[in-house]
Structure formats: C-alpha cells, structure tokens
Chains A and B, each alone.
Chain A
C-alpha cells in the first residue's frame, strides 16, 4: 500500500511477497522447462524426465520425431481444423449474437438462451456418433470442423452478445436511412466495430480447437486425419521410455499455442470471462 518511505517492516513483507511470487512461478515453470531440457537430450540421457540440463544439446531428436511421429501430417490437419473451424464459428457467432442482441423479441430471447445453454450442457458422444453417421460426417474432415464449430458456438455467441449490445443502435438506423441493406450494414459497419470481440473470440476458439482431444478420439478413426494432439498421444503410448522423443513431440505440438499466447496475451487473459464480467 505505502509506496514511498515505508518502514523496515513493510520492506520485509515486500521481500517475502516477491519470494512467494517467484516460488509460485517456479512451480509453474519447472514442468515446462522439464519438457524443453528433455527434448534436447540424447537417448541414454533421457530414460526419464529429470531436471538437469542436457549433457549436450542435441536437436536431432526433433528430426526423428517429425519423421516417425508423422508430425507434419498432424500439424497440417490441426491447422486445417482449427483455422476452418475458427473462421466458421466466429462468423456464425458474430451474426447470431448481432441478430439476437438487436431484435429482442420473446422468441429470440428464448432462442438465445437455448443457444447459450450449450455452455453448460454435456455432449452425448455415443449418440453423437449415430448422428454423425446419419449425416455421413463420421471420420471426415468436414465432419470434425462442423463438430468443433457446433461445440464452440454457444460460448462465442455469449462472448459477442454483450459486446454488440454496447454498439449504439443509432448507427444502424443512420445507415438504413442512407439506403444500406442488412448484409452490407452488418459486414461493412457492425463487423469492423466488433474487432476487439472478434480478436478475442478468434484467439480463444483457435486455442480450444488446437487443444481438442476428445472429439477426434471418438470420431476420427483413420490416422492420416489425426490432429497433433491425437498423434502425440499415440506417440506417447509407443515410446514411453524414450522421454526425449515424447518431450520433443510435446514441444512441437505446444509451440503454436505458446507463440499465439505470447503474441495475443491481452486478448486471452480475461477473455474467457469477458462476456460475463466487465473489467
């Protein structure tokens, strides 16, 4: 609290606080550093994950992993599912949030609540398999993209609904008087104003889709369609004693989301609750 001229006692408390802060950060960092260290170790050095620096930094593990773990395929699949899924979800969610927020009839409020209930509802994976078969979507790339999108839509609509409500409706009226149609109104006036919410939604959606494991586990049987998470898990089962390979695999899989996190930190932190709690 006191920032200048604090008594010695307060300075002691400050030191303790900083020590606690670093201890806490260390608890979070050690497992992550463990992956980095282990990934660069040679085979003999990596019978288990130990918190020692590699005897020599050996990047050849990464090549092995990329070749044996079919990581390139996994990466392209993950990229495809996450990108296509995110674009579809964010577009549909923005349109729905806008319509439901602007036209609050009784029916629309019910429909909005019905959609948002999806944040809470559990997925019935077994029956979903049947539905996927009926639509001919089981074990297809299109199927998994649509599925990812269906699962993410409720939260994303919720996230943007609150945001759209704060864009003044007079803008719409002015545009309509100037002869603007509904589609142009949305795409050239509303959508640009939604940019902050769109960025948060895009980043969160991409992260969630990149990390998705359960849906491909149930609904993608052929290995050539597996995203990185499934490929890594399979690899983990095969090479459980060669931790350097597993760690390299884990590192490569996490790299895109870690980079995305570091670049877009301010959109992620708090974004998950932004729809509900205004900062």
Chain B
C-alpha cells in the first residue's frame, strides 16, 4: 500500500497553513518586534536592542509584579480548584440522590462565557448593594462586609475566589466521571482486607485517578497563565495594578500604543510557555504514547 497516495499530504495542509500564519507567525515576528521601538506614536521602527526587556525586568517598573501576580493566580486557582474538586468528588461519588442533576448544575458555570461570570460577580461583590455584603449585613456579620474588588489586599483573593467558583465544578465533574469508572471490586477487596477509607483513597482512588488529575492540572495551569477575561472584567488589573496579570498588561500596552513593550511581554511569556509546554504536552499525550 502506498501511504503517500492513500493519505495525501494536502489533508494536513489546511490546518498547518492556517495555524502557522495566524498563530505561530505572530509569535515569531513578535520576537523580532520586541527588539524595536515599534509604537503608535511614530511610523519609524528602529532597532533598540534589549531596551524593552531591560524595561520589563527593571526593578523600578511594575512588570515583574505582573509576572508574579500571574504565577500567584495560576498556583492559587489550580490548587484550590483541584483540592476542592477532589474532596467533593470523592465525597459525592457514593450515596447522593440525583447525582446527575448535581453534575449538570455544578458544570454549568464552565460553559458560560468568562466575561458573563465576571459581570455577574462584579454585581455580587459590589460593596454597597452587592448580594454578598447585603447578605452578610442581614445576618449581622457587618464586620465581614468588605470592599471585595477595590481593597488592595483583598482584590486578588476575590478574583481568585470567583475563578474557583467558575472552574471548580468542571474539574469536579471530570474527576467524578473518573472515580465512577473505577471498578468497585477494588474497594470490595480492600474492605475485606480491612483497609480504612483513607487507605482506600490513597491506595486505590488516587493512583487510578492520576492521569485524569494530571490533565486537569495541566489545563488549569494553562488557563491561569493565559488568564485575561475574568481579571479584565472584575478589576481591570486594579486597584493600583494589584491584580494586573500578563495578558491584561499586554492589553493596556496595546491600548496605549506601546506595541514594542506589549510584544516584549508576550515574548517573555512565550519563552516560559515553550519550556513548560514541552512538559505539559507530554502529560496530555502520555496515553497516546503508550498505545
């Protein structure tokens, strides 16, 4: 059989061309532009060497804080979502009536536009009339009512909280599907041998759930590093850049016409992601490799 004839090259060409032209090409020429002074203020573009990177990594500027915020957001949301989702998935995998109804409800936030989730929560977290503060006041917990999105110390936690609300159910449903597909015979055998619930969790559930967990973590890390919508809508990076992440910073550089700084930031991100990416792609494709 002549594979070249049965599976002609042009079957892959469309996807490759479109992806290369509109996804990879911008990243590559972006690397070039990050060594220039490209901006909306002048038609001239000239080479400035490492100036933009010096600016991005300068301790006098805030860019390193944005990088730190992005990493913090990523770690916090990934850990919270995964731990909560795992705990609830294990807890609810047995003995809950109408599990499918719960599953459908818990998954719902994940299909809504992140933008819309952000809009709804900017109402809920409104300090004066928001649902959260009015409820707290109504039950006499006035002291807990906060300026959730404008307090410098709280804003990042509020954004993280909203994102955990949005993404936790999704992770939980994936894990629940994984748990329910584990054969009950393992647990029966373990119980006969007198294993405690904790031992069953550590020795049976966790190892068998590992591929699912790995994929969920990778997808959450990717989402966290590239986060934009939810931050943009809730705080737009404020108060005082306290919640500024890489992609919101790129957007504000873009809006202010400082294109070269925007591409330099994207290039920094590209380098980070290529290094992490090799590892993450391996996790995602591991099952394929085994086949």
Q: A residues touching B (Cβ–Cβ < 8 Å)?
A: 1, 13-14, 17-18, 20-22, 24-25, 27-32, 34-35, 47-51, 92-93, 95-96, 98-100, 102-103, 108, 111, 113-132, 135, 146-147, 149-151, 153-154, 157-158, 161-162, 165, 172-173, 176, 182, 185-186, 207, 210-211, 213-214, 217-218, 229, 232-233, 236, 243, 246, 250, 253-254, 257-258, 261-262, 265, 268-270, 272-273, 275-279
B62 beta carbon closer than 8 Å to chain A:
no
Contact A270 to B111, CB < 8 A, known contacts A92-B14, A116-B281: no
Majority SS at the chain A contact face: helix
Q: Complex: how many Å from CA A217 to CA B54?
A: 29
Which of B229, B270, B286 makes the CB contact (< 8 A) with A213?
B229
Flag if A96 contacts B21 (CB, 8 Å): no
Which of A17, A28, A217 makes the CB contact (< 8 A) with B169?
A28
Which of B96, B169, B270 makes the CB contact (< 8 A) with A18?
B96
Flag if A127 contacts B165 (CB, 8 Å): no
Q: Complex: how many Å from CA A279 to CA B180?
A: 10
Flag if A182 contacts B263 (CB, 8 Å): no
Flag if A120 contacts B280 (CB, 8 Å): yes
Question: Among the interface residues A14, A131, A158, which one has the most CB atoms of the partner chain B within 10 A?
Answer: A131
Q: B residues touching A (Cβ–Cβ < 8 Å)?
A: 1, 3-9, 11-12, 14-16, 18-19, 21-27, 29-30, 33, 88, 91-92, 94-97, 99, 101-109, 111-117, 119-121, 123-124, 126, 128-131, 134-135, 165, 169-170, 173-174, 177-178, 181, 187, 191, 211-212, 215-216, 219, 222, 225-226, 228-229, 233, 247, 250-251, 253-254, 259, 262-263, 266-267, 269-270, 273-274, 276-277, 280-281, 283-288, 291
Task: List 13 contacting pairs A-B, 8 Å CB cutoff, sorted by A.
Answer: A1-B191, A17-B92, A49-B131, A95-B11, A96-B12, A103-B7, A115-B19, A119-B284, A120-B273, A126-B254, A182-B8, A265-B104, A268-B107
Flag if A158 contacts B229 (CB, 8 Å): no
Which residues of chain B come closer than 8 Å to A146, judged between CB atoms?
A: 18, 22
A107 nearest CB neighbor, chain B only: B9
The smallest beta-carbon distance between A268 and chain B, in angstroms, is 7
Contact A261 to B212, CB < 8 A, known contacts A98-B7, A121-B23, A211-B115: no
Known contacts A232-B119, A257-B111, A276-B211; 16 additional CB pairs below 8 A are A24-B88, A47-B129, A48-B129, A121-B24, A122-B270, A126-B259, A127-B33, A131-B25, A131-B29, A157-B15, A176-B1, A182-B7, A246-B123, A265-B107, A276-B285, A277-B212
Which residues of chain A come closer than 8 Å to B88, judged between CB atoms?
A: 20, 24
The smallest beta-carbon distance between B249 and chain A, in angstroms, is 11
Q: How many A-B residue pairs have CB under 8 A?
A: 306
Contact A269 to B103, CB < 8 A, known contacts A14-B95, A48-B123: yes
Which residues of chain A come closer than 8 Å to B228, judged between CB atoms?
A: 214
Flag if B19 contacts A118 (CB, 8 Å): yes
Which residues of chain B come closer than 8 Å to A210, judged between CB atoms?
A: 113
Flag if A17 contacts B95 (CB, 8 Å): yes
B96 nearest CB neighbor, chain A only: A21
B29 nearest CB neighbor, chain A only: A127
A25 nearest CB neighbor, chain B only: B105
Which residues of chain A come closer than 8 Å to B19, judged between CB atoms?
A: 115, 118, 150, 153-154
Q: Complex: how many Å from CA A272 to CA B128?
A: 39
Which residues of chain A come closer than 8 Å to B280, judged between CB atoms?
A: 120
Flag if A250 contacts B23 (CB, 8 Å): no
Which of B6, B15, B21 makes the CB contact (< 8 A) with A115?
B15
The smallest beta-carbon distance between B41 and chain A, in angstroms, is 15
Contact A1 to B287, CB < 8 A, known contacts A120-B276, A277-B211: no
Which residues of chain A come closer than 8 Å to B253, judged between CB atoms?
A: 126
Q: Complex: how many Å from CA A151 to CA B24?
A: 10
Which residues of chain A come closer than 8 Å to B212, judged between CB atoms?
A: 273, 277
Flag if A124 contacts B91 (CB, 8 Å): no
Flag if B33 contacts A130 (CB, 8 Å): yes
Which of A1, A20, A229 makes the CB contact (< 8 A) with B187?
A1
Flag if A233 contacts B262 (CB, 8 Å): no
Which residues of chain A come closer than 8 Å to B222, judged between CB atoms?
A: 119-120
Flag if B26 contacts A128 (CB, 8 Å): yes
Question: Among the interface residues B15, B215, B225, B273, which one has the most CB atoms of the partner chain A within 10 A?
Answer: B15
